[in-house]
Structure formats: structure tokens, C-alpha cells
Structure 1
């Protein structure tokens, strides 16, 4: 995927958000209009799909941002350190695993050698959710792309102990009465998750517009 400009990034994010908003709205409407056993089925499907949108939106939009930053070809010494860490991830693993000073010195030298060069940030298979986007993995993704997590932290308990727990229980065939899920509870979870996804999409686009990937720029609170 080629995301060279702010407009390219905005188009990618807008496209990502448009279909997700449409499906999430349909999920909510379907639950509201369903009756009796059909409502139970709709609630179960709703939680599973709500989690899928949480994971998919965060993973894809973070990837779009990484691709955008990669195309800027900013020298590493002008970027935030997380982008150098992404680039040198394999070498850093080698550094940790080896006891040979010669190899460790070679790795350190390679870091200094590329610091002034246009960056070549890898983008494929960098953003990973492990099919279980909990708060810890979300933090890792945010560290990978160099963005703040302040806004999301108040919702971590809900993500870990409610959304993921319900998703896992439903996947293992638990009945609704055993997981404390009704329409009111679903709507609460739905609204929080949608807000987090929407906030993330805005945060990423703002980060690109404000060049937050540069070491000299601090991300504002939003």
C-alpha cells in the first residue's frame, strides 16, 4: 500500500472508518429491533463483531500511519526512537542473545552508521494484535508508532475484563445469563469501543499533520 501524503492517509482512514461505522450502526439497530431468542443471538454476535472492529480498526489504522511515516524517508536521527527500534528489531534481538562483544560492537556501529541516512522503516508484520487486543498489546502498538495512550487508559479495565472476557466466553459457548450481557450493557460497551476507535483515527491523522513522528515534536493532548 502506498500512503505518501496526508491526503492518502486521510483517504485510507476515512475508508476504514466508513464501513466500520456502517456495520457497527447496523449491529446496534439489529439488537434494538430483535425480540426474544433472536435478541440473545444478536447480542452474542454483537460482542464478537464489536471486538473484531476494535482489533481490526486499531491494527489497520496503525499500519497506515507506519506506512505514511516510512514513505517520508526522514533520517533516523530526526525521528522518534521508536522508528529506529522498529527498523533494528532483529539486530536488537541478536544483541540480547549474543555474548560476543565483537558482534555487539558491530550492531552498535550499524546503529550509528544509519543514523544520518534516509529511514527505511519496515511496515509489514510490524503491527500485531496476536488476535487478542488487550490493553498490554495496545500499549505495544502505541509505542511502536510513537503515540500517547493517556486517553485510552481509563477504558483499559473495560477492554480487558469486559469486552475480551465476554468475547472469549461467547466463543466458548457461554449463555448470556452467565456473562452478564443484556441490551443496556451491550450499548454501554458499544459506545465506549466506538469512541476509542474514532479517537484513535483522529489521533493518528493529527499525528501525521503535526509531524509528531519527528523527535523535536511533542504530541499534544486531545
Structure 2
């Protein structure tokens, strides 16, 4: 997959998610709604907003790893998070012994593997842990060799409290309620975050930002 096709893939899935988020925003904004119906829509919208947050980060990051898999790049030429993901099994074996000879053999193996062409399952770099909190998100961003943008820092509380916690409250059966303005703000926040992350992924693919400097 070349950068153009990767960017098109990101844009397609982003567009589909944003259409649904926009429809949810319209639904909670209808005039003179039945209160019970509005409550049901609002609670559903909170869960779906989280779903699109986690879904885009997981799918977009995974597609980015697949894009790098298809580039035919040697492991040693990639940023260190990708190198670490590639030799992860070797690191795990190293934890079982502290003997110098054995560790020396493992270092030789790691060095040899760094000359191989990179290809890993995306889940070696990405784990949403079923709750895409701000800390988990930052781990994923750094795990695919990208920088933590200022927006991710300033929106950490929003992610943890207004996306993740609210979703968990509804999904775990708590009878919490949300008004239309509150729900629209959450939806707008999710759109901003996935838009920003999409741009970061696309720019990284175009600029070969996965390569070691």
C-alpha cells in the first residue's frame, strides 16, 4: 500500500464515523423532543461517541502498521518502537536468564533480526485495553513512533472523564443522564480528536516519519 492509498483508506473510515457522529448530534438537537426518547438517544450517543473514538484509533493505527509492513523496510531503518515490537519475543526470552553467555547470544540474535524486513501483527504495537483512556492512547501514539501532540495533553481529562468514564457508566448499567448540549460537546470533542489523529497518521505516512533519523 502506497501513501496515497493509505490516506484514502483513513479518509474513508473517518468520513463514515463522522457521518454517524453528525447524525447523532442532529438527533439530540431536535426541537421539543419527548424527554424519555431524548434520554435514550443521549445515552446511546455517549456510548457510540466512545466507540468511534476507540474504533478509529485502533483501526487507524493498525492500518498505519500494515502500511509500514508493506513498505519492505529493514527493521534497523525504522524508529525504535517498531524495532522493539519486531524483536519483542526475543526480549521476553531474555527475561528468563541473566547468564552473560545466554544474553550475549540473544543480543546477537536481536542484531541479526534487525537486518530482516519489518512485518508484525498490528496488535504488537496497539492495545486499547478495552478502555482507551488518555494514557493508553498516548502509549499507542508512541508505540507507532509518533509524537504526543499538545492537544492530546490538553484533552486528557476530557478523554478520561467525558468519553471513557461516561461510556463505562452507561455500559455498566448506571442510570446517568445527559442533556443535548453536553452530548453535542462530547461528540464535537471526539470529532476533533479523531480528525487530529487522522491528520497525524496521514502526515507521518507522507513524510516517512516511521524511519529512524
TM over 0.5: yes
Once the two structures are superposed, the pairs formed by residues 96-175 of structure 1 within 5 Å of their partners are 96-115=95-114, 117-126=115-124, 127-150=126-149, 151-175=151-175
- Report what 1:90 is aligned to: 89
In structure 2, distance between residues paired with 1:103 and 1:71 = 33
In structure 2, distance between residues paired with 1:43 and 1:97 = 51
Structure 2's unaligned 5+ residue stretches are none
* 1:176–1:182 CA contact under 8 A, matched in 2: no
SS of 2:21's equivalent in the other structure is helix
In structure 2, distance between residues paired with 1:124 and 1:210 = 21
CA shift, 1:123, in A, is: 2.4
Q: Deviations over 1:141-186 (max 9, x none)?
A: 1121100112311111111122111111111222234xxx211111
1:38 aligns with 2:37: yes
In structure 2, distance between residues paired with 1:203 and 1:152 = 12
In structure 2, distance between residues paired with 1:66 and 1:183 = 37
Give the structure, 1 or 2, with the largest relative contact order (CA under 8 Å, sep 6 or more): 2
SS of 2:29's equivalent in the other structure is helix
In structure 1, distance between residues paired with 2:136 and 2:8 = 26
Q: 1:14 aligns with which of 11, 14, 33?
A: 11
Count the aligned residue pairs: 209
Higher mean alpha-carbon deviation, 81-90 vs 6-15, is at 6-15
Q: 1:211 aligns with which of 192, 195, 208?
A: 208
* 1:40–1:176 CA contact under 8 A, matched in 2: no
Structure 1's unaligned 5+ residue stretches are 217-222
Q: CA RMSD in A?
A: 1.5
Q: So what's the TM-score if we normalise by structure 2?
A: 0.92
Once the two structures are superposed, the pairs formed by residues 50-65 of structure 1 within 5 Å of their partners are 50-65=49-64
CA shift, 1:118, in A, is: 4.3
* 1:135–1:156 CA contact under 8 A, matched in 2: yes
Higher mean alpha-carbon deviation, 95-104 vs 37-46, is at 95-104
In structure 2, distance between residues paired with 1:78 and 1:152 = 28
1:202 aligns with 2:181: no
1:5 aligns with 2:2: yes
In structure 2, distance between residues paired with 1:114 and 1:124 = 18
* 1:55–1:129 CA contact under 8 A, matched in 2: yes
* 2:80–2:212 CA contact under 8 A, matched in 1: yes
* 1:73–1:118 CA contact under 8 A, matched in 2: no
